[in-house]
Structure 1
């Protein structure tokens, strides 16, 4: 066993503008530095290799989420909002809400949504193809999830524009209180008030995911105090992550035209394309855990109570696990990527996101010969998410 002082130290700031713009070089350096690295700026430990990130994600006993999945340590700091019962809780508190939501978002519910969502995707693609050039972030990546997912939850149309900035703030708040957090703070009460209001039983339609959550409370599967928090988890994590996953997929195909030809020739690759895009771009870049005991990793000890930053994006491009990891390749089997987490806290809504992406991509594959970038893409900086603010494209509907 190596003394904790021998853990490599890094001066990298994963929440600085350079790293948020392009973390590739930092990820490579952290992976090479060792299985665990001390980030001196924040006094937290970090893992960037696939083996250690995967192991920490599945080991909820030694690496807890209940002390917060952000930089803030709930053992000593008061959360800025009631913690998520899905993301920021461990067994047994985590079990009932997870079980309820897993059932509600199961295969039967997705089969009911499938035809409707595919029709909505066809209609949206028909709309956007009337414009020769467009920014696909608002026109497709944002528009489709905001059109179908709140409907599925049972949220009305008025005020849906609050979902994206609210989710953006939540994911920013997992990092340090930098300008990305402080500049949005004045608007946060308004966004939060709207989202919380949508979680009430009376605000939801009677046939959506939200109503099903409240029905589970009536049956005693969760408490009535927990029900709005479970609905809130859906609205918090179910929009931004899907938006940025779809944007990553569109960017991947625009920059890898041979892969677009491949998916058009073999439409059965549509489902794997989203997962490969999530692996390649990792819309959720990081999450924290807290050590519940002195834990040995790679011969070094992480002390009990220490915060550990897991670089999901770095793990998804670790050449120790993936062949040619920096390439978007539909011949790859992307299963096992950690873009949706892993283990007990793996994203409970990942199959919903996959269905949204499958519906939209299927509609595009049928109509679009080629996706072409026609301007400079612009990154959207977030302390946790890797996202695009702008992706100007031309969608070619005729062969070149």
Structure 2
């Protein structure tokens, strides 16, 4: 089943990032970073299915040259804590082929980013089996300029409205709509939803879709990016520290902006890989308990169904015997007629109850199918995490995991 993933981040110089090096890595290209006088050569990288730079119509032609574009961005930003670009990460439907995925990404980028004046450097990655990557993990990286493209190049002032939360909400909804349109056009029944699991479950309950509601009754997973995976693979110790967040500069007149301290040592849960493993463990335990509960309910309902089916087919013979007086025969006939009517009503009631119970059994069976399928997906995801754990030689974690699972 297609899965939804849309994540955005700001590329910051203060984090030691270089827009040129990032673009080279994502596109599998060979670029020279003029600011740092370094060469970023990733031309031998595997898994890059497609890379291109898209710019608004009528903008400067040099904006579509990857090396010129990102060197210009680096040159324009003077501050040591400058924001260089915005990066969007997208999960692509594995149900589509390479050409369909390319058309999907191009259409979305053109409508939502390029049409607003951004330059978009997109790279589509396919999973590399030799590296042990998930064969369904087709995804795209999109690096976006923070300044609007013009016939002369990039504007001197950044476009601040692109940073609005409402813009991010609109982009997330639009990406879901684009994927569903592409899946439907290709003849697939799979759909994606950009909303939270909690919101999707509430909507399913309101629609009376019990199968979807039980499938969505799980804790959301967290994303384990390349930095978190590398930290786990190299078994680096986790160090958390308090971090100040909030505005750094005063805009206009008024009091100085206040900043707050986030106490990460209190809320940190260790390695993200271990955190995700615990979430999957919890989802598996919850699914297993729900499966056992639904199986007990289904067994009780099947016993009731058997009872009502027997009642619906039970027949009482009512005949008039003897040749007594006429009034006696008439009375016996009336009593037989009433007995048959009562029998008919009992059978109708039993048939109605049997139909109701049969519908509940069918609903529970569908819910069980959804739960078992969801649990299989959780187990497959856990096996992938176990593969990462084996790569870092954490045998004691694997043994503990097998005991719990």
Q: TM-score, normalised by structure 1?
A: 0.20
* Greater per-residue helix proportion: 2
- Higher Cα Rg: structure 1 or 2? 2
Q: TM-score, normalised by structure 2?
A: 0.20
